[in-house]
């Protein structure tokens, strides 16, 4: 049986969730690393951070685990120990700004904002590294090189590497089944996102990553990158119509991945 690790976002995770699984961590055959960024994955742990036992701010268990992993820098060790047969990367979560605090880098995700953790003294003096800045891109390139080195030097080298290539959708299917343009895109509430600029960034990320990494398979469905107003998680430029997930699922099946778990 395949053991699949995802370093990415809901566009890959939802291939399992749409089959009925309610908590991806409930399966020992799937490891999901999300709400992070390549430079944040390899950064120094945030000293002084203290996680609480019960998810704060109304967060559910899985998003809280992902947040704590990003702050505590435990994801890389968990990924290597998991020894996946297939390792899927997608970069849709690479849209958040980074925070630099106490020598650490943290992903400034919605979960971090909702958790209230930023009130902890460990975050005192934190400064923002904007995602679309040259500084953030340099940090990301360093993180990509570190990931490539990690894969080559660990049991991850035995995994089938897969790049799930995608972009923010510029079209959406309305609740009435019509096609309309995406508008009012936000990274976080009150923080608008530049769709074209982020798609250009994703293209650069994917090109560079493919050059640095060992050979990777690629799955994509560019003609089906249409947002769905009826999506389980609501309207977003990366919450796609069902046909998108079906196409990606078929491509993954050809690579030995079968995203079909019991409910």
Q: Residue 2 has what pLDDT?
A: 86
Record the pTM. Answer: 0.93
Q: Which residues of the chain have pLDDT under 50?
A: 20-27, 261-263
pLDDT tens, residue by residue, 48-99: 999 999 999 889 999 999 999 999 999 999 999 999 999 999 999 999 999 9
For residue 231, give the CATH number of its domain: 3.40.50
Q: Residue 261 has what pLDDT?
A: 44
226 occurs within a structural domain: yes
Q: Residue 263 has what pLDDT?
A: 33
Total domains, the chain = 1
Read out DSSP for the chain? ---EEEES-HHHHHHHHTTT-S-GGG-TTEEEE-S--HHHHTSPP-TT----SSPPTT--HHHHHHHHHHHHT-HHHHHHHH--SEEEE--TTTTSPEEEETTEEEE--HHHHHH-GGGSGGGTT-EEE-TTSHHHHHHHHHHHHHHHHHHHHSGGGGSEEEEE-----SEEE-TTS-EEE--S-EEETTEE--HHHHHHHHHHHHHHHHHHSSP-EEE--GGG--EETT-TT-S-TTSB-HHHHHHHHHHHHHTT-------
263 occurs within a structural domain: no
Domain of 245 in residue numbering reads as 4-254
260 occurs within a structural domain: no
262 occurs within a structural domain: no
Q: Residue 19 has what pLDDT?
A: 52
């Amino acid at each position: 049986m395949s053991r699949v690790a995802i370093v990415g976002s809901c566009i890959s995770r939802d291939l399992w969730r749409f089959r009925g699984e309610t908590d991806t961590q409930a399966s020992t055959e799937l490891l999901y690393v999300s709400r992070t960024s390549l430079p944040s994955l390899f950064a120094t742990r945030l000293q002084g951070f203290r996680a609480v036992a019960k998810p704060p701010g109304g967060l559910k268990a899985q998003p809280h685990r992902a947040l704590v992993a990003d702050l505590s820098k435990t994801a890389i060790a968990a990924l290597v120990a998991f020894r996946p047969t297939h390792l899927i990367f997608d970069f849709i979560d690479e849209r958040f700004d980074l925070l630099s605090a106490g020598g650490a880098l943290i992903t400034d995700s919605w979960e971090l904002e909702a958790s209230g953790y930023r009130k902890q003294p460990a975050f005192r003096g934190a400064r923002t590294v904007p995602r679309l800045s040259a500084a953030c891109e340099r940090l990301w390139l360093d993180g990509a090189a570190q990931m490539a080195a990690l894969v080559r030097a660990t049991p991850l080298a035995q995994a089938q590497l897969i790049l799930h290539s995608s972009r923010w959708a510029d079209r959406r299917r309305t609740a009435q089944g019509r096609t309309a343009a995406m508008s009012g895109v936000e990274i976080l509430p009150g923080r608008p996102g530049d769709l074209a600029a982020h798609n250009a960034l994703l293209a650069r990320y994917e090109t560079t990553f493919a050059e640095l990494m060992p050979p990777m398979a690629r799955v994509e469905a560019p003609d089906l990158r249409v947002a769905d107003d009826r999506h389980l998680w609501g309207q977003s430029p990366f919450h796609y119509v069902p046909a998108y997930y079906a196409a990606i699922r078929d491509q993954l099946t050809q690579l030995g991945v079968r995203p079909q778990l019991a409910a």
